[in-house]
A and B are shown apart, each in its own frame.
Chain A
Amino acid sequence: MSSSKVRKQKERIFLIGIGSLTFLALLPLFHIIATVFRNGLPVIIKEGLNFLTGTFSNGGIGPAIIGTFTLTFLASLLGLPIAFLVGLYAYEFPRSTIGRWTKMLLQIMIEFPTILVGVFVMQVLVVPMGTYSAFAGALALAIILMPYVAIYTHEAMREIPFTYREAGYSLGLTRIKVLLKILAPMAKRGIFTGVLIGVAKVAGETAPLLFTAGGLYESYPSSVTKPIGSISLLIYQLVQSPSPADHEMAWGASLILLIVFLGIFIPIRLSLKEVKL
């Protein structure tokens, strides 16, 4: 009888233990979001619309915002077509040697230290060109974006029942038509999710931009071969500055970045749930 009591007691302690550890694991997220809003909102309110459009010396981060969007857009332009094809290849030839290696490589690249990509692009692009550039930054981001999109494409295609592919071939379609006209449209939701997750990821990246984008905050970017700024890069530089005014700007910029990220990410996550249900 008493042993059963001990066991019940243990059970209760266990439940309290894992409940509080779970809470502890998620607590930082609330604290981070609250802190970013508390420190960032006053800065943005003080500057008003100027914070979004002004140049840095005018108290705004307009060029950084445009820079982030430009870099993300260019990175998608460079990375998405290749990623899509690579994902299709890994799906279509899962048992061939190259297919297996491709999948392994994608999984490794997704975990790879991003700063190494930045330094690599610096060496092959920035050094020969002699200048930081939007193109170099976008190339680094494209390399980071690629594995996300490829893996999601691969996974989304795998969920489609095999019979659809048989039906396609029995109609006499070629492989490329079966893939692009029948299977890919069916998997478009999964693929689109991968695209958005990849884009959300690279929009917030900093390390690969350190030695490729260069930074530009006093004027708007004019050419892809010139340096460009980004919100995350700006935050990184402002945090290291000793001036409290710079820190305020950093908090304001963080709030903008957080809103952009949540704006992309939350809808994806919610729509994913619908798919599962």
Chain B
Amino acid sequence: MRMDGFKAIAIVAVFVVFAVFAGMLVIYFTNAVPAFHRFGIDVYLKNIWNAAEEPSREAYGIAAAIWGSFYTSLIAVLIALPLSISYSIFVVDYAPKRLKNVIIILSDVMAGLPTIIYGIWGAFVLVPLLRDYVMQFLYDHLSFIPLFSYPPITGYSYLSAGILLAIMVTPFASAIIREAYEMIPYTYREAAYALGATKYEATKLLIGYIKPAILSGFILAFGRAIGETVAVSLVIGNTFNLTWKLFAPGYTISSLIANQFGNAFIYEYMTPVLYAAGLALFIIGLGINIIGLRFIRRWEENVKL
């Protein structure tokens, strides 16, 4: 196509955006190189954090933070999924029209609410609540199960972070699932009712139909949860703990960066290690989002047929 005025200007803007994104990847990689030279792949596989004034005694491995990112995000989506599926069914099938609009607006407000507000509420309200009423109870009565065997002293833990993240990503997953659920042609519903199905039975059928969209909602919500920083870093306890135990304090990649970058320049290798952590988050985030978007696009193409 011939180059015209618009294309010439717009392509520059597009180029700038691509350059910023590529620049980010390059910056993370080049700054992480010293960490790879020194520690090799161990920087991702070991759980160790020795900050020493002498570079020769420094040793870092961020396995606990990578684990924490995955673990908290997994808790989050496992809680968020039943909530957001129920929400979608309720909004589309059951809610009267006026209530429906209100519920959708509320969910949108939740999705956009500044994360720091979730953070302050999480740290001062949610964590004490969970510690006193949920964790303590489970620890007292079920601590023979390894998941519950860590004494909930402060309440800052994987579970707290997971639940707070679940609250934050539920509206986001809901939006994706609701849209897919609304897109199901009405004839399917009519067909189900014509066979004498109750609403419950019809819904069971229809939910099966949107499984791919639910899966992509799950993946994209996971991707959002894994990148969340300030709210998580206020409730997770910021401790290098590589464990399944729900009540143990932990770390995530983003909270590690938020907490340690400020004073990392004192140590020779800490900054490169944090860039390596950032690179890991970059690649995980990119991969998860590409997979999630692929799924949803394939589903949309299928529905159009």
Contact = CB atoms under 8 A, between A and B. Distances in A.
Interface of A: 7-8, 10-11, 14-15, 17-19, 21-22, 24-26, 28-29, 31-32, 35-36, 39, 81-82, 85-86, 88-89, 92-93, 98, 101-102, 104-105, 107-109, 111-117, 119-120, 122-124, 143, 146, 174-176, 179, 197, 200-201, 203-207, 210-211, 232, 235-236, 239-240, 247, 250-251, 254, 257-258, 261-262, 265-266, 269-270, 273
Contact of A254 (B105, B116, B289): B116
A109 B109 CA distance: 21
Nearest to A106: B17
Interface stretch (B43-51, B52-60, B119-127): B119-127
B224 A111 contact: yes
Tell me the dominant secondary structure on chain B's binding face. Answer: helix
A35 B290 CA distance: 37
B273 to A, nearest CB: 13
Nearest to A14: B200
3 closest Cβ contacts across the A-B interface?
A: A204-B114, A113-B227, A21-B86
A37 to B, nearest CB: 12
A120 B279 CA distance: 11
Contacts of B200: 7, 10-11, 14-15
Given A31-B125, A113-B227, A19 B198 contact: no
Given A115-B254, A200-B112, A254-B117, A22 B87 contact: yes
B24 A175 contact: no
A176 B234 CA distance: 48
Contacts of B70: none
Given A82-B13, A115-B258, 19 more contacts: A15-B94, A15-B200, A22-B86, A25-B170, A29-B109, A31-B121, A35-B121, A39-B124, A86-B17, A89-B10, A101-B18, A107-B293, A115-B257, A175-B6, A203-B114, A204-B114, A206-B114, A261-B117, A269-B108
A64 to B, nearest CB: 12
B261 A11 contact: no
21 contacts: A11-B200, A18-B87, A21-B82, A26-B103, A39-B124, A85-B14, A102-B14, A104-B290, A111-B223, A113-B226, A113-B282, A116-B282, A120-B27, A120-B28, A146-B17, A210-B230, A210-B258, A210-B262, A236-B230, A236-B234, A254-B116
Contacts of B107: 25-26
A254 B31 CA distance: 35
Contacts of A203: 114
Contact of B261 (A10, A119, A250, A254): A119
B91 interface: yes
Contact of B120 (A15, A85, A86, A254): A254
Nearest to B123: A239
B20 interface: yes
B17 A120 contact: no
B277 to A, nearest CB: 10
Nearest to A240: B234
B189 to A, nearest CB: 15
B278 A19 contact: no
Contact of A29 (B20, B110, B120): B110
Nearest to A98: B14
A204 B189 CA distance: 41
Interface centre among B11, B115, B120 (most CB of A within 10 A): B120
B13 A262 contact: no
A81 B13 CA distance: 9
Contacts of B27: 120, 123-124
A175 B4 CA distance: 8
Contacts of A17: 86
B23 A124 contact: yes
B195 interface: no
B5 to A, nearest CB: 5
Contacts of B199: 11, 14-15
A262 B109 contact: yes
B198 A7 contact: yes
A89 B89 CA distance: 37
Given A210-B258, A240-B234, A18 B94 contact: yes
B90 interface: yes
Contacts of B138: none
Contacts of B9: 85, 176
Interface string B107-146: 1111011111111110111000000000000000000000
Interface in B220-265: 220, 223-224, 226-230, 234, 254, 257-258, 261-262
